[in-house]
Structure 1
Amino acid sequence: MPEEVLFKSESDQSRADIAMLLRRVADNLEDGEAITLKAGSESVTLDPPARPTFEVKAEREGPTDAPGELSVEFELEWDETDGEDGSGGQLEIE
């Protein structure tokens, strides 16, 4: 299935600023509110269902025998039509 990018933003930010943005997303999720993403003149509002699929991925990109780029990705997924949740083991973050 082709992917349509509805919004994208990438910028260097302090750990504190990133934490503030993630905290706002967490607060909206906890309160059952939609999430609006804005950067410049672009914006998109998404309203996750009560039980979206939550994917966490840690990656290293680059050659296996040399330092590469590390990343951690947090992703919420849901079907636009019915919002059914996925399955998997219980995630813990320490």
Structure 2
Amino acid sequence: MSRKDVAAYLRTVADNLEAGDAITLEAGAQAVTLEPPANPTFEVKAEREGPVDGPGELSIELELEWDENAGDADAESGELTIE
């Protein structure tokens, strides 16, 4: 997948979050619709897997998380910036 295609997916998720809309993920005949609360927990991780002294695999993980049975999540400490 190209960087441009990834950005389009992320933009759709961001637009739905900003509008307060549900997010539907579809693949083939399968679909799931999720309705994040107004204040979900948001995690960003930068990871490196592989040997310390050699090439490995790098990743950026973006995660929204919430409890199905609870209201909005409490705010975590520390402000995130992404440049």
TM-score range, shorter chain: over 0.9
Residue 55 of structure 2 is aligned to residue 67 of structure 1: yes
Q: Classify the secondary structure of the residue corresponding to 1:59.
A: strand
RMSD: 0.9
- Measured in 2, the distance between the counterparts of 1:22 and 1:83 equals 24
More moved, 23-32 vs 76-85: 76-85
Distance 1:63 1:27, change over 3 A: same
In structure 1, stretches of 5+ residues that fail to align are: 1-12
Q: Which one of the candidate residues 52, 66, 90 is aligned to 2:79?
A: 90
Return the TM-score normalized by structure 1: 0.83
4+ runs of 1 displaced by more than 2 Å?
Answer: none
Percent identity between the two aligned chains: 67
Superposition deviation, residue 78 in structure 1: 0.5
